[in-house]
Amino acid sequence: MRDAEPHPVRLADYRPPAWLVDTVNLDVSLHPTATRVVSRLALRRNPKGEAGAPVVLDGDGLTLVRVALDGAPLAGGAYEATPEALILRAPPGDRFTLEIETLVDPTANTQLMGLYRSRGNYCTQCEPEGFRRITYFPDRSDVLAVYTVRIEANREEAPVLLSNGNLERNGPVPDTDRHYAIWHDPWPKPSYLFALVGGNLSKVPDHFVTASGKPVELGIYVEPGKETRATYAMDALKRSMRWDETAFGREYDLDVFNIVAVSDFNMGAMENKGLNVFNDKYVLASPETATDADYAGIEGVIAHEYFHNWSGNRVTCRDWFQLCLKEGLTVFRDQEFSSDQRSRPVKRISDVRLLKAAQFTEDAGPLSHPVRPETYREINNFYTATVYEKGAEVVRMLKTLLGEQGFRAGMDLYFERHDGDAATIEDFLAAFADATGRDLGQFAAWYSQSGTPRVTAHGSYDAAARTYRLDVRQETPPSALQPVKRPMVLPLAVGLLGPDGAELPLSLDDGRNVPRHVIEVTQAEQSFVFTGITERPVLSLNRGFSAPINLSTNLTDTDLVFLAAHDSDPFNRFDALQDLAFRLLKAGAAEGRLPDAGPLVEAARRLLADTALDPAFKAQALALPGENEIAREIGSNVDPDAVFKARRALRAVLADALAAPLATAYDAHAAGTAYSPDAAAAGRRALRNLTLDYLTASASPEALARAQAQYAGTDNMTDRFAALAVIVQHDTPARTEVLEDFYRRFVTDPLVIDKWLSLQAQIPEEGTLDRVKALTLLPVFSMANPNRVRALIGAFATANPTQFHRPDGKGHDFLVDVVLGLDAKNPQVAARMLSAFKTFRQLEPGRRASAERALRRVAETPGLSADVSDIASRSLS
Ligand code: TRP
Ligand code: ZN
């Protein structure tokens, strides 16, 4: 793990495993520094594997105690063992059991992969290659085995013992202070879905009855004292279970489903079979400590991990190149769930915002890769926005192309055909092709070609012919690995609006109508002629962001104002306003002066006044694009200070021009009854807090007083934090006051302290770098905890462009120091932090050179992990 892997892994090199494992019997005796693991594997030669191949089991930093074969100890010469592998060159036949004893030290495990301790509790993280840090095993996702796990531990240290599947037995170990539990998981699974937990945890119990009447015992395990904070997660879990039955026909398949919340976790959560392990950030919530966004995050991640039970666990991935098979599909499923639970348009808008912010930027820079990569040096670095978010978009496009019923038929066939399999993207697409009779050959390029397609659409109206002609061109930016790219299949949802805003009926000149209002672009250049159009229409294209593309059209500002007011597609209504803002912001950043914002102001005024609109939608539509989004739209030679100034200036213009309606909206959406995290209430808070942001833009004493009143007068974190955030933007005595107050209130609550850290890291002032450095020294901060690191360092590097990209290069230097310090302890998190440089090529030359120097300093450091060295070298390529 410590040394950069010399050989990349290639998709083209895939070979079936030479040996299979039918059953695994694990006996784990937990101890803080010397946990003993005895593993008994029923090995069988794979008839489809390489003939005569030796048994090669993966390891990572393991200490071997002994090996036995069919019960007899193996002599030293019969096997080769290193910390990284256990090899039997001359296995005695095609079927035998191997018993392996290893010792691991969970307290010394700072990587948080394998078996480790978090606040004293034992837990595991095995995806993608953590199981090999527990015992020797063919640690690859196409080796599926049935696991029986006996866990033993000190009764006081770990009263709760959990593993996958159903509990078979538990009890004291006679004459000792220890106890044991035996868990059995009847479903064959790959090693990455193994999990084990031992500790002092409180169970929040509940139950669920599946559609076919099977009872399921539910449990969420949290630190004692935090039980009431798991209520919302439990509610989200039950809603997820029901939704998967109705929306996808998928039922749960064990007697128990457990979730454990831990404080030290590299990512969001993990879908281990029957025993999901969660970053506690995605479990724990109370109105006083969690924001509306936190609640939505919990709902989404609980659903995501639960949905993996079918898309990931029952049907798993053949190899890690197929990661999007489970992740893209499961993100799509959790997005659909949240859309059904909340507001579909608002969910779509926030998903697209995330897609563009995280994935489009990734795809436009040196870390760009296809949804299904073809080579990797470190798989941990491919849990990316491209695999997850673009992977979900590809599934969404399939649904758009095939329609609701065709899509469902394909999903059903996929689950039916591949239940119990380790499948591939080809299998996935074949299910849809076979279920609908549609050829998806060209569509498959979405998995193999990197880059965001650039699409231009030029519309022209011919009054004499009563036709509207749409000329579409597409091009996907070439890359070093793929200098020539083929045209993609683009499902473009489309509408034409008449002068009164009414939707015009669509028919094409070849006599076809436009099924579901979607045109399919398949060529580099293609034209569509709509007939029977009696007046000049306004084009609404790529509705709902039906294809993940960079679209430019010949719509005028007037057209955009019209769409913002009339489009029946809420996404494009939102997008029209954003486009107007982007046009101003780009010009403003380039020229140092904003052009006339009149059209945007009028569009925003109308939207604000429209009482028929959902407040949550208004909040999205009226929020200006962030600095990173503006930089992405500019694309090259970006000066973050110019972007910042342009955005501030436009915000001031809007705040000034709309002062009265903003104040009215603020008062009209005042908190009424007790806090509820539901979408409608959250939407009112979102709009009110957005208006507060505008109202305090000028930092007038009255406005700041209003924010302070909100800060002090509320009972919920959403409103308190929103007020804090606007106060902290301004360098006034109130800033210090509220920051200190907030710290005092929540000093014992790490997840809330993360908000406090994150907010300070984002102050767009020169003093911020020193502030961030000082914050790292506080006892509430720890480089060993990924949530703290992401909250402080991650926010500074990704959400404060003017300060991270300080012209003196000190922001870059700081990040490099952090990454190099962290790498020895937690390479995964170190690599994530380093990927903040992924957009550096779009910067103006001075800052770009500074970022490049910083990356070189990393790349030239000896002894880097594979994780960090991979990100550094690809970023520089
Ligand atoms: N499979 C998990 C999910 O998306 C994420 C995951 C992958 C993960 N690798 C991890 C979580 C390592 C924690 C640590 O649902
Ligand atoms: Zn996932």
Residue 514 vs residues 83, 468, 490, 494, 528: alpha-carbon distances, Å: 61, 14, 14, 9, 11
859 band by pLDDT with thresholds 50, 70 and 90:
very high
Question: CB 405: neighbour CB atoms within 10 A?
Answer: 10
C-alpha span between 256 and 66 (Å, rounded): 34
| CATH code (residue 763) | 1.25.50.10
Whether residues 46 and 188 share a domain: the answer is yes
Q: Which ligand is nearest to the CA of 265?
A: 1
**Which helix (H) or strand (E) element contains residue 497?**
strand 490-497
For the stretch 201-220, what's the b/e string if a residue is b when 16 or more beta carbons lie within 10 angstroms of its beta carbon?
bbbbebebeeeeeeebebbb
C-alpha span between 421 and 315 (Å, rounded): 5
Closest by CA position to 232, among listed 171, 162, 281, 179: 281
pLDDT at 212: 98
Q: Kindly state whether residue 26 falls inside one of the protein's structural domains.
A: yes
- pLDDT of 633-665, one tens digit each? 999 999 999 999 999 999 999 999 999 999 999
Task: Please say which residue of 488, 518, 547 terminates a domain.
Answer: 547
Range of the domain at 786: 747-877
- pLDDT of 319-374, one tens digit each? 999 999 999 999 999 999 999 999 999 999 999 999 999 999 999 999 999 999 99
Work out which ligand 1 atom sits closest to the CA atom of 128: 9
C-alpha span between 310 and 244 (Å, rounded): 9
Q: Is the pLDDT of residue 286 over 70?
A: yes
C-alpha span between 65 and 254 (Å, rounded): 35
C-alpha span between 334 and 751 (Å, rounded): 24
503 burial type by CB count under 10 A (0-12 exposed, 13-18 middle, 19+ buried): middle
Work out which ligand 1 atom sits closest to the CA atom of 127: 9
Distance 49 CA to ligand 2 centre (A): 29
Closest by CA position to 601, among listed 660, 641, 551, 645: 660
Considering the chain, what is the average pLDDT of its residues? 97
pLDDT at 618: 98
- pLDDT of 735-768, one tens digit each? 999 999 999 999 999 999 999 999 999 999 999 9
685 burial type by CB count under 10 A (0-12 exposed, 13-18 middle, 19+ buried): buried
Full DSSP string of 275-306: EEEEEGGGT---TTT--HHHHHHHHHHHHHHH
As a dihedral over the C-alpha atoms of residue 359, residue 362, residue 367, residue 369, rounded to 10 degrees, the angle is 40
Average pLDDT of the segment spanning 601-624: 97
Q: Is the pLDDT of residue 592 over 90?
A: yes
C-alpha span between 690 and 183 (Å, rounded): 50
Work out which ligand 1 atom sits closest to the CA atom of 271: 15
CA angle 613, 616, 618 (to 5 degrees): 55
C-alpha span between 694 and 357 (Å, rounded): 22
User: Ligand 1: does its nearest atom lie under 6 Å from the Cβ of 867?
Assistant: no
Q: Kindly state whether residue 96 falls inside one of the protein's structural domains.
A: yes
User: Ligand 1: does its nearest atom lie under 6 Å from the Cβ of 267?
Assistant: yes
Q: Kindly state whether residue 94 falls inside one of the protein's structural domains.
A: yes
**Which helix (H) or strand (E) element contains residue 601?**
helix 598-609
Q: Which ligand is nearest to the CA of 311?
A: 2
Average pLDDT of the segment spanning 23-43: 98
Average pLDDT of the segment spanning 91-98: 96
Whether residues 286 and 322 share a domain: the answer is no
Question: CB 437: neighbour CB atoms within 10 A?
Answer: 7
Closest by CA position to 286, among listed 677, 726, 569, 691: 677
Average pLDDT of the segment spanning 806-816: 98
Task: Please say which residue of 290, 325, 350 terminates a domain.
Answer: 290
Whether residues 61 and 189 share a domain: the answer is yes
Peptide bond into 128 cis (omega under 30): yes
pLDDT at 673: 77
- pLDDT of 557-582, one tens digit each? 999 999 999 999 999 999 999 999 99
User: Ligand 1: does its nearest atom lie under 6 Å from the Cβ of 270?
Assistant: yes
Whether residues 256 and 329 share a domain: the answer is no
417 SS3 class = helix
Q: Is the pLDDT of residue 1 over 70?
A: no
User: Ligand 1: does its nearest atom lie under 6 Å from the Cβ of 127?
Assistant: yes
Residue nearest to atom 3 of ligand 1 (CA): 270
Instruction: List residues, by chain if needed, whose CB lies under 5 Å from ion ligand 2.
Output: 327, 330
The residue type found at 389 is: E
User: Ligand 1: does its nearest atom lie under 6 Å from the Cβ of 557?
Assistant: no
Q: Kindly state whether residue 651 falls inside one of the protein's structural domains.
A: no
Known active-site residue 702: no
Ordered strands of the 490-497 beta sheet: 518-521, 490-497, 538-541
Q: Which ligand is nearest to the CA of 269?
A: 1
Whether residues 261 and 397 share a domain: the answer is no
Q: Is the pLDDT of residue 390 over 60?
A: yes
Distance 125 CA to ligand 1 centre (A): 8
173 band by pLDDT with thresholds 50, 70 and 90:
very high
Full DSSP string of 356-388: IIIIIHHHTSTT---SS-SEES-GGGG-SHIII
Residue nearest to atom 5 of ligand 1 (CA): 270
Closest by CA position to 293, among listed 760, 721, 724: 721
Whether residues 264 and 362 share a domain: the answer is no
User: Ligand 1: does its nearest atom lie under 6 Å from the Cβ of 289?
Assistant: no
Whether residues 195 and 276 share a domain: the answer is yes
Closest by CA position to 253, among listed 190, 295, 310: 310
Distance 833 CA to ligand 1 centre (A): 17
User: Ligand 1: does its nearest atom lie under 6 Å from the Cβ of 125?
Assistant: yes
pLDDT at 118: 97
Q: Kindly state whether residue 365 falls inside one of the protein's structural domains.
A: yes
Number of domains in the chain: 4
Q: Is the pLDDT of residue 487 over 80?
A: yes
Q: Kindly state whether residue 702 falls inside one of the protein's structural domains.
A: no
Q: Which ligand is nearest to the CA of 383?
A: 1
Question: CB 344: neighbour CB atoms within 10 A?
Answer: 16
User: Ligand 1: does its nearest atom lie under 6 Å from the Cβ of 313?
Assistant: no
pLDDT at 450: 98
Q: Kindly state whether residue 323 falls inside one of the protein's structural domains.
A: yes
37 phi and psi, to 5 degrees? -120, 115
Average pLDDT of the segment spanning 213-241: 98
Whether residues 286 and 330 share a domain: the answer is no
Distance 326 CA to ligand 2 centre (A): 7
Q: Is the pLDDT of residue 2 over 60?
A: no
Q: Which residue in the block uniquely carries the two structure tokens 């903003």?
A: 662
Whether residues 438 and 533 share a domain: the answer is no
Q: Is the pLDDT of residue 585 over 90?
A: yes
Report residue 175 as tokens: 């004459």
Task: Please say which residue of 426, 448, 470 terminates a domain.
Answer: 448
Q: Which of 118, 131, 266 to mutate to test the pocket of ligand 1 (most atoms within 8 A of CB)?
A: 266
Q: Kindly state whether residue 537 falls inside one of the protein's structural domains.
A: yes
Question: CB 404: neighbour CB atoms within 10 A?
Answer: 10
Residue nearest to atom 15 of ligand 1 (CA): 270
User: Ligand 1: does its nearest atom lie under 6 Å from the Cβ of 334?
Assistant: no
pTM: 0.98
% of the chain surpassing 90 pLDDT: 97
| CATH code (residue 374) | 1.10.390.10
Average pLDDT of the segment spanning 864-868: 98
User: Ligand 1: does its nearest atom lie under 6 Å from the Cβ of 815?
Assistant: no
149 band by pLDDT with thresholds 50, 70 and 90:
very high
Q: Is the pLDDT of residue 5 over 80?
A: no
Q: What is the largest CA-CA distance in the chain?
A: 97
Whether residues 173 and 104 share a domain: the answer is yes
4 band by pLDDT with thresholds 50, 70 and 90:
very low
Q: Is the pLDDT of residue 215 over 90?
A: yes
User: Ligand 1: does its nearest atom lie under 6 Å from the Cβ of 383?
Assistant: yes
CA angle 638, 349, 566 (to 5 degrees): 105
Q: Which of 267, 380, 381 to mutate to test the pocket of ligand 1 (most atoms within 8 A of CB)?
A: 267
Catalytic residue among 305, 336, 378, 393: 305
6 band by pLDDT with thresholds 50, 70 and 90:
low
Whether residues 155 and 267 share a domain: the answer is yes
Whether residues 431 and 527 share a domain: the answer is no
Q: Which of 270, 326, 382 to mutate to test the pocket of ligand 1 (most atoms within 8 A of CB)?
A: 270
Q: Is the pLDDT of residue 670 over 90?
A: no
The residue type found at 96 is: F
Residue nearest to atom 9 of ligand 1 (CA): 127
User: Ligand 1: does its nearest atom lie under 6 Å from the Cβ of 158?
Assistant: no
Q: Is the pLDDT of residue 62 over 50?
A: yes
| CATH code (residue 35) | 2.60.40.1730
